[in-house]
Amino acid sequence: MLEASPIIQEGLLRIKEGTVGMADRVPVYAQMSHHSARLAGRSTLQFFADAKTFLECQLAADEFYRIDAPTIHYDTYNIESEALGAKLLWKEKEIPSVDTQSPLLQSVDGWRSLPAIQIGSAGRMPYVLEINRRLMDLGLSPKIRFTGLFTLAANLLGLTNLIVAVMTEPNKVH
């Protein structure tokens, strides 16, 4: 079973003390994502699909670099797009990416036909919930993340299509 290491516990205390201006130094935090999988010699395909592997890699990297807070960063922008129905492209040693060559939406108005997300079960949402459950089992705070609307729109429509729509249909895009 994973445990929050003494280094992480010390770092979390440092962060807490820093919020009131009493930390012994500036807390260090990093966004390592799939670097932690490579550092641990693990497949990024498994890292981005299996909560246990994800946390093992992330916490081991935090320990290795002596990071003060757990660096829990998954690809939220892809998880939300996938939950809406976008196709992901999976490649070894990379973050999954939305297939913007075949965008989910064909027009700015396409969002009107999107089905309601099955919260908690669509796409890799169970993966995120499992990560958060495991964090809480360790006595750590769950990570609540969401995507910026422009990023989500670019993933669903394709960046080029979105930029063209911003120029030609700004009211609809807004």
Buried b (16+ CB within 10 A) or exposed e, 1-11: eeebbebbeeb
What percent of the chain is predicted at pLDDT more than 90?
Answer: 61
Instruction: Examine the domain organization and report whether 61 and 128 are in the same domain.
Output: no
- Identify the pLDDT of residue 3: 66
Task: List pLDDT tens digits, range 47-92.
Answer: 999 999 999 999 999 989 988 888 888 999 999 999 999 999 999 9
Instruction: Examine the domain organization and report whether 99 and 161 are in the same domain.
Output: yes
Over residues 39-52, mean pLDDT: 96
- Span of 11-20, 39-48, 125-134 with lowest mean pLDDT: 11-20
For tokens 């670097």, what's the residue?
A: 35
pTM of this structure: 0.85
Q: Is 142 helix (H, G, I), strand (E, B) or coil?
A: coil
Cβ within 8 Å of residue 65, ≥6 positions away: 30, 32
Instruction: Examine the domain organization and report whether 85 and 161 are in the same domain.
Output: yes
- Identify the pLDDT of residue 17: 83
Structure letter (DSSP) for residue 26? -
In this predicted model, which residue has the larger pLDDT, 71 or 95?
95
- What's the CA gap between 38 and 94, in Å, rounded? 10
Instruction: Examine the domain organization and report whether 3 and 51 are in the same domain.
Output: yes
Q: What range does the domain containing 149 cover?
A: 75-136+145-174
Instruction: Examine the domain organization and report whether 170 and 84 are in the same domain.
Output: yes
Domain closes at, from 73, 100, 120: 73
**Total domains in the fold of the chain:** 2
Instruction: Examine the domain organization and report whether 1 and 61 are in the same domain.
Output: yes
Domain closes at, from 73, 93, 128: 73
Instruction: Examine the domain organization and report whether 92 and 63 are in the same domain.
Output: no
- Identify the pLDDT of residue 2: 60
